[in-house]
Amino acid sequence: MEQRMSGPHKFIIDEWHKDTALFFAKLSGAAYYTPKAFTHFLRKEEIVDHYHFQFVDTNGSQAYVLWNQETFIIAFRGTQPKEMEDVFNDMKFWKRPAWEGGRVHTGFSSYVDEIWDELKRIFFEHGTNPKTGKTKKVYLTGHSLGAAAATIAASRLGTFARGCFTYGSPRVGNRKFIKTIKCPVWRFRNQRDLVTRVPWRVMGFKHIGKFCYIDRKHELRIGAVKFWRMFKDGVASIFNKTVADGFVDHSMSDYIKYIDDCDKVHKKVK
């Protein structure tokens, strides 16, 4: 299915830019929608420049692909508990060799494999500016399983990828795999989001990207975040009225809300 839509302004990826982060957060949330609902979402957002988009679905692996003359975006759909294939992919914690080097989570990689040929076909058809012959700027985004898929896609695309925005991402691969990603990665974690803490580090899995931590006051902390800060947030959650904070904090709607409402940003260089 192919539709026409409006598009956003220029993305800023080399430094913190709220509008860019919020756009990709909303797009990651909209990746869960049906094509009809996705169209309504784009109309509601009143985005400016004209784009095309296509929904890709292969054996439960799903993504929306958007493009105009300058930009090519892949928004991967995340975990849906009602769809057993998604849950099964999430549970495959063992690692296998990644395409570009290192080792990567088998389930996440399999999820991308199912959809990769179709994504490549669309990229080969629409990834080049027909007027200039230049390759378009490619951006990846996603939430949860979709965030892991976006990370793997960023590795496979190499220097074609210009930026990757992930929300509630699990750890995806080992240290060598992380080094294969050439573009800036902005990794958002909302408080005690449980998904961001698996697979475990003792299994050799590492996180990637500039850490963007939303604390219990819903302030954004970019870069290195001290252990005691997250520990205090964890202790405070014990007295919170919500019992299962780790699951509640994984909600994509909360990521969107807190980024949208964020007026205070703390930055610290690692």
pTM over 0.75: yes
What residue segments make up the domains of the chain, in order of their start? 2-268
What CA–CA distance (Å, rounded) separates 142 from 210? 16
pLDDT in tens, 16-44: 999 999 999 999 999 999 999 998 888 88
Q: Which whole number is the average pLDDT over 154-174?
A: 96
Alpha-carbon distance of 89 to 28, in angstroms, equals 19
Do 230 and 206 touch, CB atoms closer than 8 A? no
- Which pLDDT tens digit goes with each residue over 103-160? 999 989 999 999 999 999 999 999 999 889 999 999 999 999 999 999 999 999 999 9
What percent of the chain lies above the pLDDT cut of 90? Answer: 61
Which of these CATH numbers, 3.20.20.100, 3.50.50.60, 3.40.50.1820, 3.40.50.970, describes 2-268? 3.40.50.1820
